[in-house]
Amino acid sequence: MANSNELFNEVLNKKESFFIPSKDSNKSFTAPNVRGEFYGHLKNATQKEVMFEKDGEKYKAVVYNYDFEIAKENEKQSYAYTSYKDGSKQKAEGRAYIGRIYKGSGVFRFLEPEEKDDFVSNATGNQNYLRFCETLGVSIPVKEVEMNGEKVEVQALPSLDTGELNGKPAIAVIDKGKKYTWEGKERTPYVVKFVKKWEDGETSDDIPF
Question: Is a pLDDT exceeding 50 seen at residue 58?
Answer: yes
State the Cα–Cα distance between residues 76 and 66, nearest whole angstrom.
24
Note whether 155 and 130 are within 8 A (CB). yes
> For the chain, what percent of residues have pLDDT higher than 90?
60
State the Cα–Cα distance between residues 162 and 127, nearest whole angstrom.
19
Question: What pLDDT does residue 146 have?
Answer: 75
Written as one string, the DSSP assignment of 19-72 is: ----TT---TTTSPP-SEEEEEEEEEEEEEEEEEEETTEEEEEEEEEEEEEE-G
State the Cα–Cα distance between residues 189 and 99, nearest whole angstrom.
17
Note whether 42 and 166 are within 8 A (CB). yes
Q: Which residues contact 130 (CB under 8 A, 6 or more apart)?
A: 140, 155, 157
pLDDT band at 141 (very low <50, low <70, confident <90, very high): confident
Question: Is a pLDDT exceeding 90 seen at residue 9?
Answer: no
Q: Are strands 78-82 and 185-187 parallel, antiparallel or unpaired?
A: unpaired
For 9-18, 19-28, 110-119, 160-169, which range has the lowest pLDDT when averaged over its residues? 19-28
Question: Is 74 in a helix, a strand, or coil?
Answer: helix
Note whether 67 and 101 are within 8 A (CB). yes
Cα R_g (the chain), whole angstroms: 25
Question: Is a pLDDT exceeding 70 seen at residue 2?
Answer: no
Question: What pLDDT does residue 27 have?
Answer: 45
Question: What pLDDT does residue 28 have?
Answer: 41
Span 68-108, pLDDT tens digits: 999 999 999 999 998 878 888 999 999 999 999 999 989 99
The pTM assigned to this predicted structure is 0.79
